[in-house]
Every structure is written in structure tokens, then in C-alpha cells.
């Protein structure tokens, strides 16, 4: 709604800062502000309207937005304008991501710069650098405890170096993601230190309580995130004889977003990171930001309003800056992070598809894709312009948050099925080749999650140890088949560093007392560059995985129907061992992906293909460049095999794609 007074005041604020009216970007900024002001005010008052200082805080927020826009480098402002005209910039099939720890992958930021070519060689053009802002020495949850959001931790380098890397990546058409740890700060953050020294202004930045009565009320509804290493959600601060809320570890203090000053401070930090040149920010632990005593204090209405308000403010200052919601919660809850109701499609553009990831691992262990099919079909539809990150592994554990109704429908007991998965991936089940471990076992609920690298969980690490070439072959096929799914399914594929060469678990964390209590470190390896060098040897496991993945990436990039905004339908292949989904776009490109989740050959009736409008014997497989294998009226899929099947028209267009030259020259394709 147009509010002339609001607009007048905003314009006045802007002109007080700088006489900039003539400049094109400032005009665009004002236009964006005018389009969003009423919405921002409305969201702000929903959170803070009942506080007596809300209006002052609101106008201070306006000033912050103007100031951060003034600080925004010119090239980023121009990029914003281009991106506004092309929302496709974070949705298209050309994007392929990789996440990595700078220190464990390369060393310092400087060293990382020299490794960008390795990442590019694989075909990756979007990099998520795991937390690298200043954090306490010793325990810091892999950098997810930040003590200064405006400084790079000296163990990585400096802010200048980070800016230089951001510029370099932009120059090479690559995207950069960093984390914004928004739910908590480190107990060594200046605010926390001042709070600890008794300053009530800063104590109000956190959830402080004089005795156990409120904490006990909160505890009634709050689950424990790390029940083994950090039980409970509060920590006693002896020098104050007070309790502070610490949902994660005791050194991570939860910020109190009920205080509008906290919101403003965090908003300024978010825009500061945008101005460093971050393209897509990963908002950490977004489900936890607003607590309500007696409830789980996750996914609250207000936690969503915080994100909607942050998005609306970012849209004014930096519209070419996208948000990823790190909300590892049930599918019907995750979907809300894309925005709902009046904010439909206006919260986070991107969210992790943790459900799909866990379902893939379920299918691998069960050698049955029924749960995967039903679970994936049950993931609610998301708004246009939003997308998923599809991934196999990341730095965290695998949670087993399945839709229990589906398990019941399939006649499985959720308790026993989850227990089976944990046993299977820990290698405690007969026949399992996995080498993972249970994570965060909670004796009160019996729940556990799973740690372990992709190669360890997929059985490759053990097969290599056993020197069993048949099992090595199968594990490599499995690894490529799984990557083939996340590269074709839609959304944005995110590869986890080390998986491109099949790195196994790294147990060196056990020697470090600041890490040994957290077995997620087993799958955060120190990159083995000797192993990476083997990628050029086509007979080695490293070479087979790397080359296979490189080829899949090239093929994805030549397949416009794999862009997320196109259609996806998950099909019943008629064979529970074979997962089937169809991707198509409105220009007529259409591909059917069939994946065999078992170590035996399987067959799908050609009827399945004709029902989807294909002429089976005319079909071509994009992965091999030739026709699929038929056996009478059945299509034959080898162990852990995969087809990207398409009709002749799509195939011809695909052969004309610009990546095709690289494909023909680097791979044995179409012979």
C-alpha cells in the first residue's frame, strides 16, 4: 500500500546522506524501496510493534538500509540490476555447486585461489566456502560459532583476500556462497563478552534468566540437538549466576530476536556480507531463531517473519543476493521457508532438500525405491522462482526425518526401520559394506543420525581396503548413479568436496580434543591431493569417479529440461528396484531418468516408456550417446546402472549443445 508520509520520510533520509538523485542506481534503489516500504513496515511491526521504541528502531533500520546501499560496490549494484531482469540466474541447468572447508581443502584463502582451477575443471561454477569468519580458537563447531562477523579468521587469511576471491569468482562467472550464522554467536563475541561482564544492554541480546523457572518451561518443549555432546538447551554462567540459552553447544549463545536491535545488527551483517560479493547466502539454523516457551521453539511463525523481513530489506539494497534456508525439518515445514500466504515465494529462494537426500540413502540401504518414490512424491510443491539444493552428503550428519505415515503404509515400523538404517550405515548389519557411525544417539528417544563420507557409506572405502575389485566396481557405479540423480532431478546440485575422488572417512579428528566429541568430523576430510592427482588415471577409482562426474556435469549443462523451473514427475517404473522420474520443458525437451538401486541387473517394461509418450525403440541414452539395451520388450539396466533416456528430437537438439564438443573430445561417447 502506498503511504505518502513513509515515502517522503524515506526520500528525506536518503537525500540527507548524499545528493545522489541523478544516479541511475540510486533511482533503482528508491524504486525498490518504495515498492517494499509498506511491506517492511508491516513485517517489522508484526515482530516489534508492541514495543515502545519500535518506531525509532524502524527508522534506524531505514538508515541502515540506505547506508549499506551507499556502501555497496558499484559493480554489485549493476549486477543487481541485471539479475533483477533475469531471475533465472540461480535457477538454470548450468549451475553446479561444491561446498568445501577452505583450510581442509586447500589451507589458507591464498592457497584456495590456486585450487579454483581444479574445481572448474570438474565443471563446478558455484562454490560454498564453509564458515571462515572469526571464531574462537579451540571448539567452535567448525566455525559455526562466530566471534566477529566482519573479520575473516586469521587462520584463513583476511577480509581483503576474501573480497579478492569474490571478485575473481565473479570475473570467471562463478558464484560464491558463505554462511550467515544467524541463530547464535560464539560466547567470545563482543556482545557475549559484554553480557558476561554484566552489561544489561548486551544481556538483552541473548536469552538470559536469573533462575531455572523459565529455562525449565522452555525445556519442556525443546528437543536436544546434540544430546550426547551438549545435552540441554541452557548453560549456567557462574560469574553472573544466570542461565543463558544455548540450543547447540554451550559456547554458542542463542540470539534474542525479540530485541529489535538484534534484528538490526544481524541485518547489517547480512548486507555487509552481500557487499563483500557473496551471491547466495546460506542462512544457518533458520528454524531456531524465535523461541516460545513450552513449544519446540522451531519453525515458529515469527522465525518466518524474521526471514521475510530480511528478504524484503535485502530486496531493496541487494536484489541480486539470494537466500538459502538451512532448515533440516519435516517436508511440510521446510516448504514454508519459501514463503507462504501473503509472503508466498518471498522468503528464501533456496532450501536444502534434506528429505530427498535421506530418501536416497534409504533406497540404497533397502535396495528398494518404493519409499523413495512415495516420499519424493509427497514433498509439497514449491512456489515459482524457488528451488532446492539436491545433495548426497554435506558436512552434517544424515537425519532420518521420514514421513512416518509412508513407513506405516509400507508396513514398516518407523522405530525399527530407522534403527536398521543406522545399523546398516554403521556396518553393523550383515552384508553391509558401509563404514559410517551413529551420530547424536539420544537414549531418551532412541533416535540417532548417521555420520560418514559418501565413499564410506556407499561401500567404496571398505571394498578398496578389502581389495575386492568387483565390489569396487559396484560402489563406483553406485556413487555415479546417485550423483546422476542429483544432477538431473531439478534444483541445484551441490557436490561435497572430496566426493569427486571418493575420499573415505578421516579419523584424524579423534586426536583433537576440540573435535573428538563430534564424529561429524569423520566426513570433513583433509583433502588428499595425491589422491586428487590420480584423477587423470582412468583405471583408478579416483579417475573413474572424477571423470564420470565430470561427464555427468557436462551432460546436465547441455540439458535445458534439467533446469528447476521445468517439470518433474516421479513415476512408478513397475519395478521397485528402479527409480524413475521424467523431466521436461515447454520447448519439448524431455528426459526419463531410470536408476537401478541394486547390485543385480533389472528390467523395466517398455510399456512404462510408451505410457510416458516415448517410442521405446527410438530412444537414446544421453549418458552413453547410444540406444539403451533391450531384452525382448524389456529395457535392461545393469547393477547400479542409470539411463537418461530421451526421444530423437531432444537428442538431436542436445547434440548441438555447446558442451558437446568437450564431451566428444574427452569421453568415449556415442560409440
Helix runs in 228-298, H state only: 260-276
Contact call for residue 391 and ligand GLC (CB under 6 A): no
- β-bridge mates for residue 206, sequence order: 255
Residue closer to ligand GLC, measured from CB, 520 or 544: 520
Binding window for ligand GLC (CB under 6 A); candidates: 28-36, 141-149, 476-484, 569-577: 141-149
Q: Which segments of 113-233 are extended strands (E)?
A: 126-129, 133-134, 148-152, 175-181, 184-186, 208-209
CB within 8 Å of 578: residues ≥ 6 apart: 369, 594, 595, 596, 597, 602, 604, 637
Does residue 64 have an active-site annotation?
A: no
Helix/strand/coil for 444: coil
Binding window for ligand GLC (CB under 6 A); candidates: 108-116, 118-126, 140-148, 614-622: 140-148
Residue closer to ligand GLC, measured from CB, 140 or 366: 140
Q: CB of 233 within 8 A of CB of 246?
A: yes
Catalytic entry in 80, 279, 326, 447? 326
Binding window for ligand GLC (CB under 6 A); candidates: 59-67, 137-145, 234-242, 634-642: 137-145
**What is the smallest separation between the CB atom of 656 and ligand GLC, expressed in angstroms?**
41
Residue closer to ligand GLC, measured from CB, 146 or 322: 146
Residue closer to ligand GLC, measured from CB, 62 or 307: 307
User: Do the strands 449-451 and 578-584 form a parallel or antiparallel pair, or are they unpaired?
Assistant: unpaired
Site for ligand GLC in 162-181 (CB under 6 A): 181
**What is the smallest separation between the CB atom of 181 and ligand GLC, expressed in angstroms?**
6
Cell digits of residue 656: 548441438
Contact call for residue 285 and ligand GLC (CB under 6 A): yes
Site for ligand GLC in 324-383 (CB under 6 A): 326
Q: What is the DSSP letter of 447?
A: -
**What is the smallest separation between the CB atom of 394 and ligand GLC, expressed in angstroms?**
7
Binding window for ligand GLC (CB under 6 A); candidates: 56-64, 138-146, 228-236, 606-614: 138-146
Binding window for ligand GLC (CB under 6 A); candidates: 45-53, 139-147, 463-471, 523-531: 139-147
CB within 8 Å of 412: residues ≥ 6 apart: 371
Residue closer to ligand GLC, measured from CB, 285 or 589: 285
Q: In 291-309, which positions are buried (b, 16+ CB within 10 angstroms) versus exposed (e)?
A: beeeeebbbbeebbbbbbb
Q: How far apart are CA 329 and CA 343, in angstroms?
A: 20
Residue closer to ligand GLC, measured from CB, 125 or 252: 252
Residue identified by cell 545433495 is 391
**What is the smallest separation between the CB atom of 249 and ligand GLC, expressed in angstroms?**
8
Residue closer to ligand GLC, measured from CB, 310 or 354: 354
Q: What is the dihedral of CA 177, 183, 188, 194, to 10 degrees?
A: 130
Site for ligand GLC in 198-237 (CB under 6 A): none
Q: How far apart are CA 588 and CA 268, in angstroms?
A: 45
**What is the smallest separation between the CB atom of 259 and ligand GLC, expressed in angstroms?**
20
Q: CB of 577 within 8 A of CB of 597?
A: yes
Residue closer to ligand GLC, measured from CB, 144 or 361: 144
CB within 8 Å of 386: residues ≥ 6 apart: 338, 339, 345, 348, 349, 350, 351
Cell digits of residue 68: 549499506
Tell me the CA distances in angstroms from 473 to 276, 369, 463, one per residue in order: 44, 21, 9
Q: CB of 359 within 8 A of CB of 402?
A: yes
Q: What is the DSSP letter of 229?
A: T
Among 141, 187, 254, 500, binds ligand GLC (CB under 6 A): 141
Q: How far apart are CA 89 and CA 176, in angstroms?
A: 13
Half-sphere exposure of 252 (CA within 13 A, CB side): 23
Q: End-to-end CA distance of the chain, in Å?
A: 62
Burial of 154 (0-12, 13-18, 19+ CB in 10 A): exposed
Residue closer to ligand GLC, measured from CB, 244 or 474: 244
**Chain residue whose CB lies nearest ligand GLC:** 144
Q: CB of 121 within 8 A of CB of 140?
A: no
Among 144, 149, 644, 654, binds ligand GLC (CB under 6 A): 144
Among 396, 423, 572, 636, binds ligand GLC (CB under 6 A): 396
Residue closer to ligand GLC, measured from CB, 69 or 144: 144
Cell digits of residue 291: 523461541
Residue closer to ligand GLC, measured from CB, 80 or 284: 284
Binding window for ligand GLC (CB under 6 A); candidates: 136-144, 268-276, 313-321, 337-345: 136-144
User: Do the strands 280-284 and 252-254 form a parallel or antiparallel pair, or are they unpaired?
Assistant: unpaired
Contact call for residue 496 and ligand GLC (CB under 6 A): no
**What is the smallest separation between the CB atom of 143 and ligand GLC, expressed in angstroms?**
9
Catalytic entry in 141, 153, 279, 284? 284
Contact call for residue 284 and ligand GLC (CB under 6 A): yes
**What is the smallest separation between the CB atom of 622 and ligand GLC, expressed in angstroms?**
34
Q: How far apart are CA 317 and CA 312, in angstroms?
A: 9
Does residue 326 have an active-site annotation?
A: yes
Residues binding ligand GLC: number (CB under 6 A): 10
**What is the smallest separation between the CB atom of 516 and ligand GLC, expressed in angstroms?**
16
Among 205, 243, 248, 263, binds ligand GLC (CB under 6 A): 248
**What is the smallest separation between the CB atom of 646 and ligand GLC, expressed in angstroms?**
37
Site for ligand GLC in 300-329 (CB under 6 A): 326
Q: CB of 122 within 8 A of CB of 549?
A: yes
**What is the smallest separation between the CB atom of 191 and ligand GLC, expressed in angstroms?**
17
**What is the smallest separation between the CB atom of 242 and ligand GLC, expressed in angstroms?**
22
Q: How far apart are CA 112 and CA 55, in angstroms?
A: 45
Binding residues vs ligand GLC (CB under 6 A): 141-142, 144, 181, 248, 284-285, 326, 395-396
Q: Which residues are catalytic?
A: 284, 326
Amino acid at each position: 500500500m502506498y503511504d505518502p508520509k513513509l515515502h517522503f520520510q524515506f526520500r528525506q533520509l536518503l537525500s540527507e546522506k548524499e545528493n545522489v538523485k541523478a544516479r541511475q542506481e540510486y533511482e533503482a534503489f528508491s524504486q525498490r524501496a518504495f515498492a517494499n516500504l509498506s511491506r517492511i513496515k508491516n513485517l517489522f511491526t508484526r515482530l516489534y510493534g508492541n514495543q515502545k521504541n519500535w518506531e525509532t528502531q524502524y527508522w534506524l533500520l531505514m538508515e541502515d538500509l540506505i547506508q549499506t546501499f551507499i556502501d555497496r560496490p558499484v559493480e554489485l549494484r549493476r549486477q543487481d540490476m541485471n539479475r533483477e531482469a533475469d531471475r533465472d540466474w540461480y535457477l538454470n541447468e548450468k549451475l553446479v555447486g561444491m561446498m568445501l572447508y577452505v583450510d581442509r581443502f586447500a589451507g589458507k584463502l591464498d592457497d584456495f585461489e590456486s585450487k579454483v582451477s581444479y574445481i572448474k575443471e570438474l565443471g563446478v561454477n558455484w562454490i560454498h566456502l564453509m564458515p571462515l569468519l572469526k571464531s574462537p580458537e579451540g571448539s567452535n563447531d567448525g566455525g559455526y560459532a562466530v566471534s566477529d562477523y566482519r573479520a575473516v579468521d586469521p587462520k584463513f587469511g583476511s577480509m581483503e583476500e576474501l573480497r579478492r576471491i569474490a571478485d575473481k569468482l565473479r570475473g570467471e562467472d562463478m558464484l560464491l556462497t558463505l554462511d550467515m550464522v544467524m541463530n547464535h554467536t560464539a560466547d567470545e563475541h563482543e556482545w557475549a563478552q559484554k553480557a558476561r561482564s554484566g552489561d544489561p544492554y548486551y544481556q538483552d541480546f541473548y536469552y538470559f534468566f536469573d533462575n531455572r523457572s523459565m529455562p525449565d518451561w522452555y525445556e519442556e518443549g525443546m528437543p536436544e540437538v546434540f544430546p550426547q555432546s551438549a545435552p540441554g538447551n541452557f548453560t549456567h554462567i557462574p560469574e553472573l549466576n544466570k542461565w543463558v540459552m544455548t540450543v547447540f553447544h554451550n559456547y554458542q549463545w542463542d540470539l534474542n530476536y525479540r530485541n529489535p536491535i538484534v534484528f538490526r545488527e544481524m541485518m547489517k551483517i547480512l548486507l555487509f556480507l552481500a557487499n563483500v560479493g557473496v551471491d547466495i547466502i546460506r542462512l544457518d539454523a533458520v528454524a531456531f531463531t524465535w523461541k516460545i516457551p513450552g513449544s519446540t521453539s522451531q519453525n515458529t511463525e515469527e522465525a518466518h517473519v524474521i526471514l521475510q523481513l530480511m528478504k524484503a530489506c535485502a530486496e531493496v539494497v541487494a536484489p541480486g543476493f539470494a537466500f538459502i534456508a538451512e532448515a533440516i525439518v519435516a517436508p511440510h515445514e521446510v516448504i514454508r521457508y519459501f514463503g507462504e500466504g501473503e509472503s508466498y515465494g518471498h522468503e528464501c529462494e533456496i532450501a536444502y532438500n534434506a528429505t530427498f537426500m535421506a530418501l536416497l540413502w534409504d533406497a540404497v540401504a533397502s535396495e528398494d525405491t518404493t519409499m523413495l518414490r512415495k516420499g519424493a512424491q509427497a514433498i509439497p510443491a514449491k512456489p515459482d522462482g524457488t528451488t532446492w539444493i539436491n545433495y548426497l552428503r554435506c558436512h552434517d550428519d544424515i537425519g532420518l526425518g521420514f514421513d512416518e505415515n509412508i513407513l506405516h503404509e509400507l508396513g514398516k515400523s518407523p522405530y525399527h526401520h530407522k534403527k536398521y538404517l543406522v545399523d546398516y550405515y554403521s556396518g553393523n548389519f550383515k552384508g553391509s559394506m558401509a563404514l559410517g557411525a551413529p551420530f547424536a544417539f539420544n537414549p531418551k528417544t532412541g533416535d540417532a543420525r548417521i555420520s560418514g563420507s559418501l565413499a564410506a557409506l556407499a561401500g567404496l572405502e571398505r571394498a578398496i581396503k578389502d581389495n575386492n575389485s568387483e565390489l569396487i566396481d559396484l560402489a563406483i557405479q553406485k556413487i555415479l548413479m546417485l550423483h546422476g540423480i542429483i544432477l538431473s532431478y531439478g534444483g541445484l546440485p551441490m557436490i561435497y568436496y572430496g566426493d569427486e575422488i571418493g575420499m573415505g572417512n578421516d579419523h584424524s579428528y579423534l586426536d583433537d580434543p576440540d573435535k573428538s566429541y563430534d564424529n561429524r568430523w569423520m566426513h570433513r576430510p583433509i583433502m588428499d591431493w595425491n589422491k586428487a592427482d590420480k584423477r587423470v588415471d582412468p583405471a583408478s577409482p579416483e579417475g573413474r569417479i572424477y571423470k564420470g562426474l565430470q561427464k555427468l556435469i557436462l551432460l546436465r549443462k547441455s540439458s535445458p529440461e534439467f533446469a528447476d523451473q521445468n517439470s518433474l514427475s516421479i513415476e512408478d517404473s513397475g519395478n521397485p528396484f528402479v527409480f524413475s522420474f521424467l523431466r521436461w520443458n515447454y520447448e519439448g525437451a524431455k528426459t526419463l531418468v531410470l536408476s537401478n538401486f541394486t547390485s543385480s541387473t533389472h528390467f523395466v517394461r517398455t510399456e512404462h516408456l510408451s505410457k510416458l509418450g516415448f517410442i521405446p525403440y527410438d530412444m537414446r541414452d544421453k549418458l552413453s550417446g547410444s540406444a539403451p539395451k533391450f531384452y525382448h520388450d524389456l529395457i535392461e539396466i545393469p547393477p547400479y546402472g542409470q539411463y537418461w533416456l530421451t526421444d530423437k528430437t531432444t537428442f538431436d537438439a542436445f547434440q548441438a549443445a555447446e558442451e558437446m564438443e568437450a564431451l566428444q573430445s574427452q569421453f568415449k561417447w556415442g560409440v
